[in-house]
Structure 1
Amino acid sequence: MRLRSFRFLWIGQACANTGDVLYIVALIAILYQSTESALYLSLLPFTITLARFISGMGAPLMLSHFALKGMLVWSQGLKTIVLGILGASFLLYVPELEVVFMLAFIIAFLDGWAAPARNAMLPMIVKESELTQANSFVAVVDQSIQFGGWAVGGIIVAFTSGSFVIWLTFGLYCISTFIMAMIENAIKDQKRKRKIPLLSGWQTIWKHPILRTVHIMIFLESIANVVWIAAILYIFVSDVLQKSEAWWGYLNASFFFGLIAGGLIVSKYTRLFEKHMKLILLTTSFVVSGVTMLFGSIQIALLALALTLVSGIVEQVKSIAIVTFIQKSCPKDALPEVFSAQSALISITFGCGTLLVGFLAEVVSIPFVFAFSGILLLSSALYMWKYHRHFQL
């Protein structure tokens, strides 16, 4: 790998992602202390999801004016400024809730450019033979932050305050901006002067057989994967397993450990993974469907724990395969628009899926929700099996 630029990219993004988790933990604590309202707490993830969707839809317009590195650095720098304003507002006075949600919306909007830009930049600073290993390493770092960030953030908030954690995040954002500014792009950080239509990413996806197949799978799986969010698992533990809240934590931890383990497995067996990537993607698609349907039908806590671990492993391996297929099959100059469209698709689909699954859990049952999810995942796997001939690199 071009170690210098790759190191700056993943460290800078790790600092930014850690800050993203910490400041959301801080806002949850602040909002609950000031309102004691579950409605306001639920509005926070909705606001963040909506902002990232709008950001992803508008990203091609930004890509016509900025290089990928420029998008990363400028978006992170602006996030830092907005977060500083949020932190200062809590020091000077107690801001109105509308102000808090508006600033959270702006931060999430700017953050919506980061992941597509990073995924598009990786093939430019990493050799193609090392791309799978780079993707698995970045996936492990991301999931480690997600796993540890919420726990660490909760502990820090408990011993300090939400305002302190926001300023801690401000420091991480500053470090992230500085580090990513030192990235040296292999393609001399191309300034993208060409005009990019707003729907260019969607058009590329629809015209390209692999990209079209993969993103139809992503659409179905974004709805299905809603069952693994914390709220649904909480109800599953209470109503189906009839266990204490501690088991909710065990299941979440098991799933995230599985995600990390999946990334480590791919990293260790990179050559085998690349040689059989299509078969692995097809197999994991069917396995995750079966695991999800089985999970919703059991009442044995230890078996549920094992299945969440397996689900995490398989889901991570499948996700790395999907990202690698996109990076290797899509023209490099179209990658930013494609990943921007993908980010918008996942945001809006996951957001709507959350409402749908929440409604089904309320009016039917939790086992039905997992069965429904398993059927969607099975549909995704069958769709790939039908069009597997497209997956030739």
Structure 2
Amino acid sequence: MPVLLLVSALSFLDGWTTPSRNSLVPRLVGSDSGLMKANGMLSVSDQIVQFAGWGLSGVVVVLIGTSNTMLAAAAIYGLAASLTLRIHETAVESNGGEKSPARSNRNILIEGWQLIWRVPRLRILTFMDVSDMIANSVWAGAFLLVYVQQVLERGDEWWGFINAAYFSGTLLGGIIVVSLVEKLSCRIYSYMLVGMIGYSLFIYLFAFNQSPWLALLFVVLCGPFAELAMVSHKTLLQRSLDKARLPQLFSAQNVLLNLFFCLSLLGMAWIAETFGIVPLFVFAACLTSLTVVIGLLSYKVFHRAEETGQESASTL
């Protein structure tokens, strides 16, 4: 029980991290192209850590033991916290520089949900994010392991190979996004759709493939498209609202995404058990394709928003 309580406390505190970071980045970066570049660089650093973690964590546990590994992780968290304290953000005012009126805690709590519901482009991006989150749950370790055993007919080590291939692909994608940021930031919504189309295509190919080496290739090629879609999507959200209201937006969205991720794992498990692992990956690709269709149908909303600025979000 103490271990479960500690894990719950860690998850609770970890739930503060993503909304805070996504809200902080626009306050520290000036231009729109700089914002997309910052998101890309952060994504690259995340993928490097995850890629290295998959390969080194087992070695570290073997060398120094589980207890010492946990202590080392705690020390790294402490170092991260000390570095975070060195960040100094400037005060942000909403509504075009006017000071926001005093708001009750209740209004602050529900404001993020109101923004998602009332602002068309936020509602569309959040719906796309939820659909993408459900589709991405197919990459959970248990599903991928079943795919390796039943479809590829290989040993458990190929599960690790595929995970490493995916992270290397996303790392490559992050580097590409950062290097082409000036071009991508001009038509960010269109490139987001391109990323989602490419991502869904390679999931289709991955689902129907039975060659282990082609599986690795398809997973690597998934990475750049997934990274292009993710960085573009995050940048669009950050540009869709004034900076003072971003914490409420990302907090509400984080709750929504985590809720649907938990439910999607149950749903995906039922699909895999009932229909098989290949239909599961086909279903994930169909969900991503549906998200692309919604994005294409909503193109005019984002085109108008780019012409009118943030008026729809600022007048709430």
TM-score if structure 1 supplies the norm length? Answer: 0.72
- Which of these residues, 223, 232, 250, is aligned with residue 134 of structure 2? 223
Aligned to 1:143: 47
**Letter aligned with residue 100 of structure 1:** V
* CA drift at 1:351: 1.2
**Letter aligned with residue 103 of structure 1:** L
Deviations 1:205-243 (A, max 9, x none): 121121111111111111111111222111111100111
Deviations 1:145-175 (A, max 9, x none): 1121233222111122211112112211221
* CA drift at 1:266: 0.7
Aligned to 1:181: 85
Determine helix, strand or coil for the equivalent of 1:199.
helix
Report whether the alignment pairs 1:107 with 2:14. Answer: no
- Which of these residues, 38, 51, 61, is aligned with residue 134 of structure 1? 38
Aligned to 1:377: 288
Deviations 1:266-302 (A, max 9, x none): 1001111111212111222222222212211111122
Whole-Å Cα distance in 2 between the matches of residues 170 and 298 of structure 1? Answer: 41
* CA drift at 1:188: 7.1
Deviations 1:284-330 (A, max 9, x none): 22222222122111111221111101111111110000000011111
Report whether the alignment pairs 1:363 with 2:267. Answer: no
User: Using a 3 Å threshold, how does the CA distance of structure 1 residues 206 and 189 change in structure 2: closer, same or farther?
Assistant: closer
**8 Å Cα contact 2:162-2:219 kept in structure 1:** yes
How many residue pairs align between the two structures? 296
Aligned to 1:297: 208
Whole-Å Cα distance in 2 between the matches of residues 256 and 117 of structure 1? Answer: 24
**8 Å Cα contact 2:169-2:223 kept in structure 1:** yes
User: Using a 3 Å threshold, how does the CA distance of structure 1 residues 189 and 199 change in structure 2: closer, same or farther?
Assistant: closer
Whole-Å Cα distance in 1 between the matches of residues 74 and 165 of structure 2? Answer: 30
Aligned to 2:56: 152
**Letter aligned with residue 187 of structure 1:** A
- Which of these residues, 257, 266, 272, is aligned with residue 346 of structure 1? 257
Aligned to 1:123: 26
Determine helix, strand or coil for the equivalent of 1:113.
helix
Q: Which runs of 5+ in 1 are unaligned?
A: 1-97
Q: Which runs of 5+ in 2 are unaligned?
A: 307-316
Report whether the alignment pairs 1:162 with 2:66. Answer: yes
Whole-Å Cα distance in 1 between the matches of residues 127 and 92 of structure 2? Answer: 34
Identity, in percent, stands at: 30
Whole-Å Cα distance in 2 between the matches of residues 175 and 249 of structure 1? Answer: 29
Deviations 1:24-65 (A, max 9, x none): xxxxxxxxxxxxxxxxxxxxxxxxxxxxxxxxxxxxxxxxxx
Structure 1 stretch displaced more, 195-204 or 225-234: 195-204
